[in-house]
Amino acid sequence: MLTTELAMTDTRSEYITRENILKLLSDEEIARISTAETAKDLVVGAEYVDLEALDLGVRHADGTAVTMGHALPKSAVHAATWSEILKHLAPAPKP
């Protein structure tokens, strides 16, 4: 039972983090991301965040297929927004 509760808590934490990241985006950025979703692949070396695997942090496109519906490319958001996203991805300070 405890394992199930921990799994549910972990999933909830990931959902909240993903939701918090999406709330940082302006309408313009959301439109750009929607346009990016129709692209086949990211340019090799492009930075992005996989919204389904936030624990992996910022990733770099390496030429393999990226699920664009889950990718939040750095190029689709303003520099200030990307900085805020990075703050959300940073590990919490240890007590």
| Structure token pair of residue 65 | 């297929």
> Which amino acid type is present at position 17?
T
Q: Does residue 94 form part of some domain?
A: no
Number of helical H runs and strand E runs in the chain: 3, 3
For the CA atoms of the chain, what is the radius of gyration?
14
For residue 52, is it within any domain? yes
Query: What separation in angstroms does the CA of 19 have from each of 44, 78, 91?
Result: 27, 18, 17
| Number of domain units in the chain | 1
pTM over 0.85: no
Q: Is residue 57 part of a domain?
A: yes
Range of the domain at 44: 2-89
pLDDT digit string (tens) for 50-92? 888 888 899 998 888 777 778 899 999 999 999 999 988 876 6
38: in domain? yes
| Domain presence at residue 42 | yes
User: Per residue in 38-54, pLDDT tens?
Assistant: 556 788 899 999 888 88
Let me know if residue 95 belongs to a domain.
no
